[in-house]
Structure 1
């Protein structure tokens, strides 16, 4: 039955995609994997060892025989347009597309490309990073949060009994905005070119808290139910993190790749303007991130 054993594809075998592929492979549900590079296999390292996911990574959309029940999209939002041929081949109106991406605008961003499929947003709660040898290092237990929708059961069925925990929330908007606040303040790491240890500086802690309070005001205007304690909780999380913990936007900056500045940071400025909320810190951070991503210079 589709509900119990959906056919599963994954686009984007990066850090997050490899983690999901490995979790599925470990329980005998290896997805078909699609990407730009034809890797022979994927490797996920974790505290207990490693998982090898056999290839190939398929690179030719025209070779897809039929649409899939469930498609995980694990590419960054800067790469969505480039995935259009895969999405067109893998999706139809019966497909559920689970967006393993940052931001609070996932359905709107993917809708033009998914051939009428339902886009299911998610919040990804695990640090996974690509290593120089192309393996992925998973530094914590993987967990996803999904909204309570009729389509959510398909992802739950696919990931049942895997190492990836799936939580379902009746207030998904609040959780998504909380994660966005965490991602937004991580953008400061790009401007400093430093990892999580930088948050131990009192001046960075003060800046981070001010920025997070600005973001919190915008999130509440958008309907998120978040307490006054959230900025301090997020900063405390960075204080507890390994000093060498990076973030995907920092890795992209150091590799001179386009940055997800708009959906992680620009979104706060954009919605602030919609609600006539002053965003003075965003008004400095966003142009600097945009210039670091797109130039010129």
Structure 2
């Protein structure tokens, strides 16, 4: 990937310096966008490992919401459970013409951010299909893919135009409910199982682990259909194929969080399936079991000072 000379008059702020935020901010910077990274920890730009090669991105980093003003685009890339903590940034960065793109896992992305932005602020839910790991403050390792899916509409067209040339491929999808659940499938077995076992994606090349993943996804598919998503066996098989083809040394965001001692995102992944199952009276015994285990791990992480 080579640095381009493209420039843009749009002002862009990325909230969150984890794998998603760091990778996105670096690509935007290399493409010539006016981008600021909003983070808790001060760093001297970003170093991103792409295809085994380290590249530096001199992205401006701000750690105090009082030092920023309204921008055209805000990309919220914090973990779902950290959304309330982003409220000071959102208040400072949102103006009359701001659009907040929510790059998080789970369902109901626009609804999740609504309480923390000024009334009437445009929001755009964004599904991320890439694996990027924050290995240290300011250091990101990109493992796989660079895809973003958004619902069809004018805001999505503007978002795609904004990121054109960055290396992030934006696709507009007509059925965003189905797309959201398909992405949830992508996380639903890989994230909890890698996090609970402390192992990387290579475990899904084992027949017994692949069978367990299939059972979890089959259970979730019944819930997804009750929620109005058009998912079925092809989605389950496709997810399992992705798991099997993933680099064996790659991981999941939930595994990375557990390894770093950070709270987990389980309530917005496995918890979303269990809650929707309860709403529709669809049994979810396997996912409920995982949720119980993940809550126990998360309690231990929080008691140990994870943040």
Asked whether the two chains share a fold, i.e. TM above 0.5, the reply is yes
Whether 1:188 and 2:188 are equivalent positions in the alignment is no
Query: For residues 1-297 of structure 1, what are the structure 2 equivalents within 5 Å?
Result: 5-47=9-51, 49-64=53-68, 66-116=69-119, 117-132=121-136, 134-186=138-190, 187-295=192-300
Aligned-pair distance for 1:272? 0.2
| Aligned pairs, number | 293
8 A contact 2:26–2:59 mirrored in 1: no
SS state of the match for residue 125, structure 1?
strand
Q: After alignment, is 223-232 or 270-279 more displaced?
A: 223-232
Q: After the TM superposition, which segments of 4 or more aligned residues of structure 1 sit over 6 Å from their partners?
A: none
Instruction: Report the CA distance between 1:200 and its aligned residue.
Output: 2.0
Given that 2:146 and 2:169 are in contact with CA atoms closer than 8 Å, whether structure 1 keeps it comes out as: yes
Q: State TM-score, norm by structure 2.
A: 0.90
How many Å apart are 1:201 and its aligned residue? Answer: 2.0
Return 150-159 or 282-291, whichever deviates more: 150-159
Q: Secondary structure at the match of 1:115?
A: coil
- The C-alpha deviation readout for 1:246-284, integer Å capped at 9, x for no partner, is 111011112221100010110000000100001110121
- CA apart distance, 1:28: 1.0
| RMSD of Structure 2 on Structure 1 (CA) | 1.7
Contact 1:12 1:34 (C-alpha < 8 Å) held by counterparts:
yes
Contact 1:6 1:154 in 2 (8 A): no
SS of residue matched to 1:126: strand
1:161-211 CA-partner distances (Å, limit 9, x unpaired): 221111111112111111101211111112222111111222211111111
Please give the alpha-carbon distance, in whole angstroms, between the structure 1 residues aligned to 2:60 and 2:41.
Answer: 10
- What secondary structure sits across from 2:196 in the alignment? helix
Partners of 2:15 and 2:75 within 8 A in 1: yes
Show structure 1 runs of 5+ residues with no match: none
Consecutive unaligned residues of structure 2, counting only runs of 5 or more, are 1-7
Measured after TM superposition, the shift of residue 51 of structure 1 is 3.5
Please give the alpha-carbon distance, in whole angstroms, between the structure 1 residues aligned to 2:72 and 2:109: 19
- Kept in 2, the 8 Å contact 1:98–1:121? The answer is yes
Structure 1 35/68 Cα, relative in aligned 2: closer, same or farther at 3 Å?
same
* 1:18 Cα deviation after fit: 1.4
Structure 1 contact 185–208 (Cα < 8 Å) conserved: yes
Contact kept, 8 Å, 1:41 with 1:53, in 2: the verdict is yes
d(CA) in 1 for partners of 2:56, 2:14? 16
